[in-house]
Amino acid sequence: MPVNQLLTLSARVESEPEFCRALTQEANNSVQWAEVPAQAETQGLGPLLYWHLKAAGVTPPLAVKRELQSLYLRHRHANEVRSRALVDILTAFAGADIPARVLKGVALAWLIYPEPGLRAMRDIDILVPVAQARQAQQILQQLGFNAPLPGPTEPLPDKHLALAGRRNEGLQVSIELHHNLFHAFDPASMTLADVTGPPLEFEVNGVMAQALGPEDMLWHLSQHIAYHASIWEPIRLVWVADLVGFANRFATQTDWAKVARLYPLVLNMLSLFHFVSPLSAELRRLAPLQMGPEPHGVGLEFEGWPRHSWRRLRGDGQSWPEIVRRTFAPSAWWLRLHYGLNSRQSLFWYRWFRHPLYILGPFYLAEKLRLWQARRR
């Protein structure tokens, strides 16, 4: 069994009995265990996979078990260190009357995961008002972070300030202060002044923190996935666990009519990710999802050009017809994800027209650029 099937099955927050039985069944197949830890870490699922295997009573080979346990312990320690740094920051921001929303991984670690250490992450993302972004970065400097600031007459960088870093207990803690969730020119642009509802509150080591409200959080998570679901790079399975786990956990606290009106992409993504990490019965009852049959190739990413060069694809033993098929006929599941469709909408236009034109566009533009440069010479 390909490793990705084991990881895809594990892209969920809770270890329900039915899931544990399915995981045990998959693990009893021909798993290439030696590859599991590295691939799990790449997908952001290292500690979560260890947790699921333990809950299901699955015992991988000893070397693999030790490697996964090491990932679990390392991420747990790292998140404990980050949490202590977050408490320092939020306390200082509160003292300076700077509103802050903790974003993505750190917020989700405390809101939906059984243990905060199960959510692997690289840095801490915090949203602050644009008018107080410089002051917030200066506070990070006062807390001992290397936090670069633009000059007094220079504009703020688009979206977020330069990454701030501080060495804590042997770990480099990185902070990314956002004044916009996305680029200012992006239609999804959202500042703290644009949020549509009250925040979710959660406690970090005795200090109250705030995250985006349910509808805005779902929007942020979905837009983040949509940005990465491209012909250039794959999505990470931890993002699927985040979105589905959050939607399941806050199903009754979410205004689904508001989501349908403002953020229909959220519903489309959930209808696709249901076939990777099942939505709860309560969520399916409450949310106006357009659920169709299971798309072909669930979980299969785009594997053609330009994500991989022609030379690499040929070097991997792919024939020219196979390369063309991978490029112009990816899985139905990925096409729906990439073009923001739900599991019910027709793929005809996207399969035969929209996607081929999208792929050929770079060829056309590159050729026009070459001709323009040739004329100039």
Q: What is the CATH number of the domain that holds 128?
A: 3.30.460.40
The DSSP symbol for 286 reads H
Residues 234 and 372 in one domain: yes
Residues 41 and 172 in one domain: no
Cα–Cα distance for residue pair 362/364, rounded to 1 Å? 5
Residue 135 in domain: yes
Residue 5: band (very low, low, confident or very high) from pLDDT cuts 50, 70, 90: confident
Residues 328 and 221 in one domain: yes
Q: Return phi, psi of residue 91, to 5°.
A: -65, -45
Residues 217 and 363 in one domain: yes
Residue 76 in domain: no
Cα–Cα distance for residue pair 16/308, rounded to 1 Å? 37
The angle subtended at Cα 254 by Cα 253 and Cα 258, nearest 5°, is 145
- Note whether 83 and 204 are within 8 A (CB): yes
Mean pLDDT of the chain: 92
Residues 114 and 192 in one domain: yes
Residues 331 and 223 in one domain: yes
Query: In the prediction, which pLDDT does 1 show?
Result: 36
- 374 or 10: which carries more pLDDT confidence? 10
Task: Point out the domain boundary residue: 212, 227, 250.
Answer: 212
- Note whether 60 and 26 are within 8 A (CB): no
Measure Cα distances from 260 to 178, 199, 254 in Å.
Answer: 26, 19, 11
Residue 74 in domain: no
The DSSP symbol for 152 reads T
Q: The domain containing residue 4 runs over which residues? A: 1-60
Least confident of 35-44, 239-248, 264-273, 303-312: 303-312
Residue 44 has pLDDT above 90, yes or no: yes
Nearby residues of 349 by Cβ (< 8 Å), 6 or more positions away? none
Residue 78 in domain: no
Cα–Cα distance for residue pair 110/316, rounded to 1 Å? 42
Cα–Cα distance for residue pair 340/226, rounded to 1 Å? 8
Query: In the prediction, which pLDDT does 21 show?
Result: 94
Cα–Cα distance for residue pair 223/217, rounded to 1 Å? 10
Residues 205 and 218 in one domain: no
Query: In the prediction, which pLDDT does 13 show?
Result: 96
As beta bridge partners, residue 332 has none
Residue 183: band (very low, low, confident or very high) from pLDDT cuts 50, 70, 90: confident
Residues 121 and 248 in one domain: no
Residues 106 and 226 in one domain: no
Residue 73 in domain: no
Residue 277 in domain: yes
Neighbours of 281 (CB within 10 A): 10
Nearby residues of 98 by Cβ (< 8 Å), 6 or more positions away? 128, 129, 132, 135, 136, 139
As beta bridge partners, residue 207 has 204
Residues 364 and 231 in one domain: yes
Cα–Cα distance for residue pair 268/259, rounded to 1 Å? 11
Enter the pTM of the model. 0.93
Residues 149 and 176 in one domain: yes
Cα–Cα distance for residue pair 184/311, rounded to 1 Å? 37
Residues 139 and 18 in one domain: no
Q: How many domains in the chain?
A: 3
User: Residue 171: in which H helix or E strand, if any?
Assistant: strand 171-178
Task: Point out the domain boundary residue: 186, 212, 238.
Answer: 212
User: Residue 46: in which H helix or E strand, if any?
Assistant: helix 46-56
Task: For residue 102, give the nearest of 219, 213, 186 by alpha carbon.
Answer: 213
Nearby residues of 331 by Cβ (< 8 Å), 6 or more positions away? 295, 296, 297, 298, 300, 301
Residue 77 in domain: no
Residue 286 in domain: yes
pLDDT tens digits, 304-326: 998 998 889 888 888 999 999 99
Nearby residues of 196 by Cβ (< 8 Å), 6 or more positions away? 213, 215, 216, 258, 262
The DSSP symbol for 198 reads P
